[in-house]
Amino acid sequence: MANGPILMRENRYHQIKAVLARLRLDSSARLVVLVDKDGQQIAVHGELGDLDTTSLASLVAGNVAATGGMAKLIGEDEFPTLSHEGAKESIHISVIGRILLVVVFDDRSSLGLVKLRSKQISQELASAFAEIERESATPGARSALPFAEITDEEIDSLFFHA
Partner 1 sequence: MTFINYASREINCKIVYYGPGLCGKTTNLQYIYDSTATQAKGKLISLATETDRTLFFDFMPLELGTVRGFKTRFHLYTVPGQVFYEASRKLILKGVDGVVFVADSQEERMDANIESLYNLEENLQVYGYDLMKLPYVLQLNKRDLPNVIPSPDLTSELQRKGEPVIEAVASTGAGVFDTLKAVAKQVLTELRKS
Residue 71 binds partner 1 (CB under 8 A): no
Residue type, 6: I
Question: What is the spatial distance between Cα 125 and Cα 98, in angstroms, rounded to a whole number?
Answer: 11
Q: Identify which of residues 74 and 148 has a Cβ nearer to partner 1 in the complex.
A: 148
Tell which positions 3-22 bind partner 1, by CB under 8 A: 3-10, 13-14
Least distance to partner 1, CB of residue 154, Å: 5
Which strands form 81-85's sheet, in the order they lie side by side?
41-46, 31-36, 99-105, 90-96, 81-85
Least distance to partner 1, CB of residue 8, Å: 5
CA-nearest of 90, 94, 93 to 110 is 90
Candidate residues 75, 86, 139, 146; the one interacting with partner 1 per rule CB under 8 A: 146
Candidate residues 50, 74, 77, 159; the one interacting with partner 1 per rule CB under 8 A: 159
